[in-house]
Amino acid sequence: MELERFSYDNRIVRNFAYATLLWGIVGMIVGLLIALQLFIPELNFSIPFLTFGRIRPLHTNAVIFAFVGNAIFMGVYHSLPRLLKTPMFSKLLSNIHFWGWQLIIVSAAITLPLGITTSKEYAELEWPIDIAITLVWVVFGINMIGTMIKRRESHIYVAIWFYIATWVTVAVLHIVNSFEIPVTFLKSYSLYAGVQDALVQWWYGHNAVAFFLTTPYLGLMYYYLPKAANRPVYSYRLSILHFWTLIFIYIWAGPHHLLYSALPDWAQSLGTVFSVMLIAPSWGGMVNGLLTLRGAWDRVRQDPVLKFMVVAVTAYGMATFEGPTLSLKNVNAIAHFTDWVIAHVHVGALGWNGFLTFGILYWLVPKLWKTELYSKKMANVHFWIGFLGIVFYALPMWFSGITQALMWKQFNELGILQYPNFLETVLNIVPMYIIRAFGGALYIAGFVIMVYNLIKTMKQGSFVNEEIAEAPALEKFKDPFRKGTRHRWLEGKPVYFLVVSLIVILIGGIVEFVPTFLVKSNIPTIASVKPYTPLELQGRDIYIREACNSCHSQLVRPFRSETERYGEYSKAGEYVYDHPFLWGSKRSGPDLHRIGGKYPNSWHYLHFENPRQISPGSTMPPYPWLLVNDLNTTTTEAKINALRKIGVPYPEGFEKVANAELVKQAEQIALDLQKNGIPAEPQKEIIALIAYLQRLGTDIKTNTQTASK
């Protein structure tokens, strides 16, 4: 058979590796900063761009899409051509992909601190960037599918199945969740409202974890683990089983983020059961990874690459057991909105994604630079420091989460909340926050050691731009159906494979969405719920800009401990005009859904000026700029128009008088503040935000007695 000569492009792999290292450091340092801010609020330096709410999404986006994202592309651009025995389809597309993705990251790093955000977690970027992401993703897809079509290997390996599922699902997730109506160049409203928005968002949010942090990394594991261990993959049929069950089941599990919420019960239950059924498919990946190391365990002790990979796969197994546990009703009743969830995601992120990335980098960099690793010892030090970092991170967060939950729910012997003052529960976990920050710092220290080690490795080696390889051309195989199984046949048809994956991942979403959107009884309307006034609407957008939802939920769950603390539990019908929903996912501060009317306007004013002059010891940052900035009312008309288009019943022509109404309401609030000795001016941003807060949850608040202090 005649061999064809071709070459692999190593430069694109190198570029993605550089980007992984750079954004990894940036994302983690931002993470450390916000961890410190949780007990030293002064660390925002009174700069709006550095406040917790604005840079928490910067941290999550940077580590997910910049650090992990670039690591995925590094792995794909390295392994895919080698598994298919062909160069990437187009160098131009590779470069567009690389630079486009970096540009998106930079635009995120600029817009998020500016408060330009949609507020939907892990999908905070505004609509022009959403479009850019879609385009780059399409480029990536064409490049990947093109490479498959040009391949010299008859079948596609399991790593590539995972790449395909990743690409197709992320495309669907991103597009469906990003349906939004633009208001201005950098502001949009989600097409969905309230409960529906929450369902779509957490279908997206959960599956971003599944198809951005999990499936591509399983793909990477299937290439780099057997490579590094030099052992055959343990079980091909297990790969098939866990691949298909994983992608089918994962997509259903989103509603477990919304247990005990206003989401219809049946959808909540589906979220629970599909999470439980996910244990085995997830563990399939772990089992196949760990058992591939049979016969290589003696080397695990010496080889830092394998050490990192073993811990990564184990962390994956732990996190995928903890996830279903957290999805059980009675555990979720305790864990939701607490730091337990933060511990959970970081076991996945630091352990699984971080450690697998490190393992791959320690293996790949010496290969690309044709040399040995500069210092094995340093890599071992990194391993232990990183490992301790994870321990120091996760344990205090577990403690903290359970402490929070127990304190929130504790009644005294008289049937009254033991800790009626929320602040008390925050101050109690401050020590845990200190230790967590220490753990994070350790992890970063390990990362820095790795960067140094890798740079030294690169310096001592010589980089090969194009790696020459040879392989025979692909023969057309005839009637493969007779030769093997159906699945084997499908492995020879990557495009069919993609289509089948698409169908498999669409089912869960469709079953959950369609009834929630179409069946009226799922979201019973409440006659007294009215759209926001123009001033409240502007105030709500400030709430979104400052990302108050980073720390405050707007969802009173149906527990007595919550209704005693906050007031009546939240009903689906209350959110019908909320574009987007703002339920939040973590309570570093109290729930705000029933905040309306609870305190006088002057309380809010002084609290925003400096929370500690009202609540000594509070960890909330001050917002002095809200008192100084004038509210931008030029957008009111466009906002009313946009919202009317997506179903909010503002009367025709209302947009013309909206600003007059806005001024009237603002003057009333300013007057009230002046009466209480505060020289407030009606045109300031804070007036709008106070108007919004005072409206929250009041549409159905009939009995103010239910809200205890």
Partner 1 sequence: MKRIINSFALKFFSAVMFFNQFIIAAGESDYPENYYDKVALFLIFVIIIGFLSLIYFESKIRIVKEKQPSVFWAKVRHLLTKSTPIERENEVLLVDHNYDGIKELDNRIPPWFSGLFYATIIFSVWYMLHYHVLGTGDLQEAEYAQEVKLAEIQRAELMRSGAMINEETVTLLTEPAMLESGKQIFITNCAACHAADGGGLVGPNLTDDYWIHGGGIKNIFKVVKYGVVNKGMIAWQNLLNPKQMQEVSSYVVTLQGTTPANPKNAEGELWKEE
| HSE (side-chain half, CA atoms, 13 Å) at 562 | 23
Q: Tokens 């539990």 — which residue? A: 569
Residues near partner 1 (CB under 8 A), total: 79
Run of H or E including 188: strand 187-190
Residues 228-257 that bind partner 1 (CB under 8 A): 232-239, 241, 245
Instruction: Output 81 or 461, the one with its CB closest to partner 1.
Output: 81
Cα→Cα distances 112→33, 46, 53, 198, 623, Å: 15, 17, 10, 21, 17
Contact 316, 362 (CB under 8 A): no
The reply to whether 289 sits near partner 1 by the rule CB under 8 A is no
**CA neighbor of 315 nearest in space, from 280, 350, 361, 357:** 350
Contact 320, 282 (CB under 8 A): yes
Instruction: Output 96 or 328, the one with its CB closest to partner 1.
Output: 328
Q: Binding residue for partner 1 (CB under 8 A) from 5, 301, 520, 709? A: 301
Instruction: Output 238 or 500, the one with its CB closest to partner 1.
Output: 238
To the nearest whole angstrom, how small is the minimum distance from the Cβ of residue 364 to partner 1?
Answer: 14
Which span sits near partner 1 by CB under 8 A: 99-107, 408-416, 450-458, 632-640?
A: 408-416
Output the six-digit token pair for 576: 């019908």
To the nearest whole angstrom, how small is the minimum distance from the Cβ of residue 294 to partner 1?
Answer: 6
What DSSP string runs through 28-85? HHHHHHHHHHTT-GGGGTT-GGGSHHHHHHHHHHIIIIIIIHHHHHHHHHHHHHHHHT
To the nearest whole angstrom, how small is the minimum distance from the Cβ of residue 258 to partner 1?
Answer: 11
Q: Binding residue for partner 1 (CB under 8 A) from 2, 5, 415, 478? A: 415
Which span sits near partner 1 by CB under 8 A: 170-178, 399-407, 506-514, 634-642?
A: 399-407
Output the six-digit token pair for 415: 């049937």
Contact 154, 477 (CB under 8 A): yes
Which span sits near partner 1 by CB under 8 A: 99-107, 138-146, 394-402, 452-460?
A: 394-402
Cα→Cα distances 55→49, 356, 548, Å: 7, 26, 12
To the nearest whole angstrom, how small is the minimum distance from the Cβ of residue 260 to partner 1?
Answer: 6
Instruction: Output 266 or 603, the one with its CB closest to partner 1.
Output: 266
Residues 182-221 that bind partner 1 (CB under 8 A): none
Q: Binding residue for partner 1 (CB under 8 A) from 279, 464, 606, 678? A: 279
To the nearest whole angstrom, how small is the minimum distance from the Cβ of residue 681 to partner 1?
Answer: 37
The reply to whether 413 sits near partner 1 by the rule CB under 8 A is yes
Residues 616-655 that bind partner 1 (CB under 8 A): 617
To the nearest whole angstrom, how small is the minimum distance from the Cβ of residue 403 to partner 1?
Answer: 5
State the burial class of residue 267 (Cβ atoms within 10 Å of its Cβ: 0-12, 13-18, 19+): buried
What are the residue ranges of helices labelled H in 251-294? 265-277, 279-292
The reply to whether 294 sits near partner 1 by the rule CB under 8 A is yes
Residue 509: count other Cβ atoms within 10 Å of its Cβ: 21
To the nearest whole angstrom, how small is the minimum distance from the Cβ of residue 346 to partner 1?
Answer: 15
Which span sits near partner 1 by CB under 8 A: 29-37, 343-351, 380-388, 531-539?
A: 380-388
> What is the rounded (10 degree) CA torsion for 389, 391, 395, 398?
80
Q: Binding residue for partner 1 (CB under 8 A) from 1, 5, 265, 478? A: 265
Instruction: Output 23 or 39, the one with its CB closest to partner 1.
Output: 39
The reply to whether 331 sits near partner 1 by the rule CB under 8 A is yes
The reply to whether 420 sits near partner 1 by the rule CB under 8 A is no
Radius of gyration of the chain from its Cα atoms, rounded to whole angstroms: 26
Contact 529, 596 (CB under 8 A): no
Distance (Å, rounded) from C-alpha 266 to C-alpha 182?
33
Instruction: Output 143 or 403, the one with its CB closest to partner 1.
Output: 403
The reply to whether 474 sits near partner 1 by the rule CB under 8 A is no
To the nearest whole angstrom, how small is the minimum distance from the Cβ of residue 483 to partner 1?
Answer: 9
What are the residues whose beta carbons fall under 8 Å from the beta carbon of 426, sequence distance 6 or more? Answer: 588, 589, 618, 619
**CA neighbor of 608 nearest in space, from 682, 679, 552, 687:** 687
The reply to whether 511 sits near partner 1 by the rule CB under 8 A is no
The reply to whether 163 sits near partner 1 by the rule CB under 8 A is no
Residues 512-571 that bind partner 1 (CB under 8 A): 558-560, 563, 569
Q: How many residues does the chain have?
A: 709
The reply to whether 406 sits near partner 1 by the rule CB under 8 A is yes
Q: What are phi and psi of 189, to 5 degrees?
A: -115, 140
To the nearest whole angstrom, how small is the minimum distance from the Cβ of residue 238 to partner 1?
Answer: 5
The reply to whether 276 sits near partner 1 by the rule CB under 8 A is yes
Which span sits near partner 1 by CB under 8 A: 55-63, 123-131, 294-302, 367-375?
A: 294-302
Q: Binding residue for partner 1 (CB under 8 A) from 96, 132, 434, 474? A: 434
